Structure 1
């Protein structure tokens, strides 16, 4: 077994009754990787995670971990940890007792149990909170307890289901840092499920973008952000101006449109709002919306091509609603798409 296939999903098909949710999925994950399963609701990411955890029977295919086939191994025997979105802490138990719970089920007692629990609490910065109950903790602290409870079990793979969705913006940033630190210090292979592209970009070594139970694209955060392969991925990671190409011209709401420069050979092109050149160019549009975003100003243009979103530096001259503006979609700035749907 190669390190690249420490966790291997092979021709995995998952279903709820007669409805197939994930058909014939192949995915190899290296030991020590931090992987994000990214996609909208219903794309199959949580279903895939549940199959790895052993919480969903596999219709066909295999789940292999560290050289062993665990497809039909019970959840408590497959060395896979799971941190739930809701944290699932026992409200009547202290932080210490919550972290100790799984270890006690394994038969640990006395000094060995105490050492592991206190080491786990120290690793997530909660050594002084051992006697508190979950209700006495913030959301971020409760998340850390759930993380420590899983980590003390020394899982070969740790799964996190939308781990930061219940936290406010400041706490999400803190917990991103915490998850990265714990993962890098322990070397545990970690998979987290999220619909938040910013979260996936900030945390993951590799991102697996899923659509309708299938993998749409796998790559580094830089690849996914800058080089989406399809219109679906481009739209999901913030390319808001997306058009199919036909014979070197854009297919738009008003028909085929020539670009100001020769486009690459592709099924489509995608521009982020900041890639749109505003103020000069062969196209014209009317400002239908504008918003100030601190260091930038965003515009929504009503154009013959369809709605165009543009972004300029806040220091640039402001344009009022109803203003007529020239703009360009520079082909050299666009992301070429190999598939368009």
Structure 2
């Protein structure tokens, strides 16, 4: 465990039966950090969360929290809060009773119970709803009850499994702000699991991108967004035009080679976001097979001699109709170099 680590996973391997889901994972998480485990279904992020929470036993490796080895410590003695995607609230209990439930199991009652529940409800803005039953609340309010119920237990680590996936777009934005505020005010170490790159980029101090039970890249949101190390990460965070580099040429997904419009860097591949594709002039041509209005931009699907290219242009620029032939460029300077491809 590094000196700066509060929660450490050391060579952690996890399995379902004989199927290895996570293999020899190393990860150090700092105290007070808001960390995202990001990746597609089946990448091992939820499995890793379950192991940290004590809901599954590792095949090998060690989990250390605040200097103590908790690898074999039962879940109810780890002091780790867990907020499920389904919220897991009791519909027959009031908001106050839901938040108080865990405290009562610990034998806390009287003024101390009331004080901690009231403080928890205040922290999520639900003081006025303490007497309501949870089915009478909106999705965002139910999410806040689940957060308050975990926070009143004063956990060392708070873990959230796809915390915003059940909410509509407006509520997701509100809850992102709420989660950030709560985490910064309390200083709790928070880990959340998500497949939504926008959510991870907006919330996290650091992002751990996972693939096939291993860590593909760790970095700040800015590092992950601007400097993906592999084609997998690039594709996951919105670089929709990916080309391998082989023998001084760009190689498209179908294996077609093309001469680049400039010298190539020492990299395994290059990735362009749609907005980095320059339309109207350049060495390449494509046919517009799709165009959609996206507020301040128009998004284009171009059919070229080497495959599909996705481009984006400001709406202030005259648009191209379907089936129009368009010249375009993929400036090397606008591409992200990739260390690993495939």
TM-score interval, normalised by the smaller of the two chains = over 0.9
Contact 1:248 1:265 in 2 (8 A): no
CA distance in 2, matches of 1:272, 1:281: 17
Q: Paired residue for 2:281? A: 280
CA distance in 2, matches of 1:262, 1:274: 21
CA distance in 2, matches of 1:168, 1:254: 40
Contact 1:254 1:304 in 2 (8 A): no
Q: Paired residue for 1:151? A: 151
Deviations 1:19-64 (CA, angstroms, capped at 9, x unpaired) = 0000000000000000000000000000000000000111100000
* Correspondence 1:294-333 to 2 at 5 A: 294-333=295-334
* Correspondence 1:1-341 to 2 at 5 A: 4-252=4-252, 253=254, 255-341=256-342
Deviations 1:60-111 (CA, angstroms, capped at 9, x unpaired) = 0000000000000000100100000000001111000000000011111100
Q: Give the TM-score taking structure 1 as reference length.
A: 0.99
Q: CA deviation at 1:254?
A: 6.4
Deviations 1:248-275 (CA, angstroms, capped at 9, x unpaired) = 2101246321111112110000000000
CA distance in 2, matches of 1:264, 1:289: 31
Contact 1:298 1:309 in 2 (8 A): yes
Structure 1 segments of 4 or more deviating over 6 A?
none
CA distance in 1, matches of 2:120, 2:182: 10
User: Once superposed, what is the RMSD of the aligned Cα atoms?
Assistant: 0.9
CA distance in 1, matches of 2:284, 2:4: 48
Contact 2:287 2:304 in 1 (8 A): yes
Q: CA deviation at 1:4?
A: 2.4
CA distance in 1, matches of 2:101, 2:59: 32
Contact 1:3 1:30 in 2 (8 A): no
Contact 1:197 1:237 in 2 (8 A): yes
CA distance in 2, matches of 1:281, 1:262: 16
CA distance in 2, matches of 1:114, 1:98: 12
Deviations 1:172-204 (CA, angstroms, capped at 9, x unpaired) = 000000000000000000000000000000000
CA distance in 2, matches of 1:318, 1:277: 13
Deviations 1:266-305 (CA, angstroms, capped at 9, x unpaired) = 0000000000011100001100000011100011000012
CA distance in 2, matches of 1:235, 1:97: 45
CA distance in 1, matches of 2:77, 2:56: 15
CA distance in 2, matches of 1:3, 1:153: 27
Q: CA deviation at 1:2?
A: 5.0
Contact 2:2 2:28 in 1 (8 A): no
Secondary structure in 1 aligned to 2:22? strand
Contact 1:263 1:332 in 2 (8 A): no
CA distance in 2, matches of 1:201, 1:3: 26
Secondary structure in 1 aligned to 2:4? helix
CA distance in 2, matches of 1:11, 1:324: 54
Secondary structure in 2 aligned to 1:160? strand
Gap runs ≥5 in structure 1: none
Number of aligned residue pairs: give it: 341
Q: 1:324 to 1:212 in 2, by over 3 A?
A: same
Deviations 1:154-178 (CA, angstroms, capped at 9, x unpaired) = 0000000000000000000000000
Q: CA deviation at 1:247?
A: 2.3
